[in-house]
Amino acid sequence: MRCLTTVALSLSLFLVGLVGPIQAQLQMNFYANTCPNAEKIVQDFVSNHISNAPSLAAALLRMHFHDCFVRGCDGSVLINSTSGNTEKDAAPNLTVRGFGFIEAIKAVLEAQCPGIVSCADIIALASRDAIVFTGGPNWSVPTGRRDGRISNASEALANIPPPTSNFTNLQTLFANQGLDLKDLVLLSGAHTIGVSHCSSFTNRLYNFTGRGDKDPALDSEYAANLKSRKCPSLKDNTTIVEMDPGSRKTFDLSYYQLLLKRRGLFQSDSALTTNPTTLSNINQILKGSVEGFFFEFAKSMEKMGRINVKTGSAGVVRKQCSVANS
């Protein structure tokens, strides 16, 4: 009997150990008692400034994505370095914008509730609010993320899917984060807004296999237009191009329509049509409504926002988002 009691007690303690981290996870209105106006402060700041810089909506969403894919959604993408080896310094993040915007929101929150609201939560809230204020989908953002203090350029380079990814690479990098092929297609739909630099795709126009050739998966007319009107040289690193031509300011289904016309800007866009599962997902999205796309996109965003989050004692709340030990 004593043996059974001991076993039962051991099992109970084991289960408590399992339940503990689950209970410590994110929750809606996490700051209700410690900083009741936190989410409204973020929302108001975004509302007051996004109309002057609507392109920040896509930039903040990209920042959130890049943050979550490296060490989880812990704000590590925001950390500065004097030696050039943080996530910010990695090639995928050299064109990320909005760091000052997040820091400005943090300053307002610190004035109201010092040391309470994490930089990681600010990214998650601000990116959602910015998309909503520009007419895009809404999604739930549970809070309680803590900030990380480690930020490595090499990890960003290894984990953030580059625009030159083929399907296998995309599948692997998303699976590493617990995201499936449906999430891959839906989250790629964020390319319906925003812009890119020529350097992210000119290899498809001028030197796809190293022989001065074009990517055969790219529509010839579209490629010719890009070469003549947008990116006249393989060395162009400054020109900006719409990812969803004619619709870059509207969160809609146009991106997916272009994919089926072989007019996805990046190799990673085109790759979505090379797998029967992702191609089927694209067709299903196009058969539905914009509202249906918004609903599904929201679910994938909520899933992404929970990637490897730090909660409780697992992280800190940085007082200055760009400083690891602040």
Q: What are phi and psi of 282, to 5 degrees?
A: -60, -45
Residue 100 has pLDDT above 70, yes or no: yes
User: Any binding-site annotation on 121?
Assistant: no
The residue count of the chain comes to 326
Please name the helix (run of DSSP H) or strand (run of DSSP E) that holds residue 196, with its range, or none.
strand 195-197
User: Any binding-site annotation on 209?
Assistant: no
The overall average pLDDT reported for the chain is 92
User: Any binding-site annotation on 87?
Assistant: yes
> Within 10 Å of residue 202's Cβ, how many Cβ atoms?
23
What average pLDDT does this structure show over 124-140? 97
Q: Are the CB atoms for 254 and 247 separated by under 8 Å?
A: yes
CATH topology of domain 37-194+243-305: Peroxidase; domain 1 (1.10.520)
Q: Are the CB atoms for 120 and 147 separated by under 8 Å?
A: yes
Query: Quick one: pLDDT at residue 25?
Result: 83
Q: Are the CB atoms for 164 and 203 separated by under 8 Å?
A: yes
What percentage of the chain reaches a pLDDT higher than 70? Answer: 93
Query: Quick one: pLDDT at residue 197?
Result: 94
Closest Cα partner for 172 from 297, 306, 268, 279?
268
Among candidate residues 49, 64, 66, 197, the one labeled active-site is: 66
User: Any binding-site annotation on 129?
Assistant: no
Of 4-13, 133-142, 268-277, which gets the smallest average pLDDT? 4-13
- The domain locations on the chain are 37-194+243-305
Q: What are phi and psi of 217, to 5 degrees?
A: -80, -10
Residue 156 has pLDDT above 90, yes or no: yes
Residue 222 has pLDDT above 60, yes or no: yes
Q: Which two tokens stand for residue 193?
A: 């807004």
66 is catalytic: yes
